[in-house]
Structure formats: structure tokens, C-alpha cells
Copies of this chain bind each other. A is one copy, B any other.
Amino acid sequence: MGSDIDDALVDDAPAKREELAVADVQFGPLPELVGFMVRQAQLRMFEAFYADLADDGIRPGLASILVTIGENPGIRQGVLADALRIKWSNMAKIVRYLDDDALVERRVAKSDRRAFELHLTDRGRKLVARALPKIRASDRRATAILDPDELTTLRTLLAKLSGI
């Protein structure tokens, strides 16, 4: 790509493409906004996730829920929802779906019969074990433009920002 002939053609026809190319779009004050930049970065990361893990039938949200239950066996549904910034009403539907799919088990808490304690089933544990390496690989590929030091810095700053 980018032969001498191509370059010559571009030089010869500077006014041919008057329209704005995607790469030349100006974002003005937007790149100063962390909210905007974080959103663009997230879109890029999720694109990669979906492309690499579509076949496994797992999405970013479900993955984070399953991993967090695995790391905190018996975690209550409301605590899980608050930790991942998901509304209780939405978490109820997700957990019911995961229960129907035999990935998660809901146990009534002995100390409070209103509460559910969540556990991964064997199937859930296997799914996490199988998906996690692919997720890590996808994440690494999507961030390959950053060197290890930059990656560490980025994770540290995002952790500080999101309070984790």
C-alpha cells in the first residue's frame, strides 16, 4: 500500500476529494472530555469482545457477573448489582436468565429469607474457565497499541476513577 504512483496521483489531484474523510474529522473540545474519550475507548473494546467471543454466546456484562459470583461465592444479588453498577430490577432478570440456563444457583439466605445468595454451578464454572483465556486474549489484542507501562498506568487511572 502507498506506492509512488499512488502518491503521485494524490499530489496531482488535490482538489478531487473535497469531502471530509473520517480520519480528518475534528472533534473540537470533545477529546478534552474524559467522558467522551472513555466512551470511544469502550466502544472499541466491546467491538473486539463481540468479534472474538460471539461464538461462545457470552457478552461483556454476563462475563463480569459470572466472574464476580465466582470470586465471591454466596454474594447477595443486591450487593452484586451495586458493585457492578447495575439496577436491582435489571439484575433480577439477568440472574433469572442465568438460573434458567443452569449457570448460576440462587440459594435463600438462612439469615434473611428475602435474600438470595448466588453461586456458580459446575456449568457456570466451566463456562468461566473456558471463556476467560479468550477474553484476556481479546483484551490484549485490542490494547496492543499500548506498551506494558502504558497499560499499567491506564488500568491504575481507570481504577482510581471508577473507585475500584
Which residues of A does B touch, CB under 8 Å? 18-22, 25-49, 60, 64, 67-68, 70-72, 74-76, 79-80, 82-83, 85, 111, 132, 135-136, 138-139, 142-143, 145-146, 150-151, 153-155, 157-164
Whole-angstrom CA separation of A75 from B64 in the bound complex: 38
- B residues within 8 A CB of A68? 25-28, 30
11 contacts between A and B (CB under 8 A): A25-B79, A27-B164, A29-B136, A32-B155, A34-B139, A36-B60, A38-B42, A38-B45, A39-B45, A47-B85, A154-B158
Q: Which listed residue, B37, B64, B138, touches A155 by the CB 8 Å rule? A: B37
- B residues within 8 A CB of A163? 44
A27–B143 touching, CB < 8 Å = no
B146–A28 touching, CB < 8 Å = no
Q: Which listed residue, B31, B39, B60, B153, touches A159 by the CB 8 Å rule? A: B31
Q: How many copies make up the complex?
A: 2
A34–B143 touching, CB < 8 Å = yes
A71–B26 touching, CB < 8 Å = yes
Whole-angstrom CA separation of A138 from B132 in the bound complex: 35
- B residues within 8 A CB of A74? 20
A19-B79, A40-B164, A79-B21 known; A136 vs B71 contact (CB < 8 Å): no
Q: How far is the CB of A61 from chain B (nearest CB, A)?
A: 9
B37–A159 touching, CB < 8 Å = yes
Whole-angstrom CA separation of A161 from B37 in the bound complex: 9
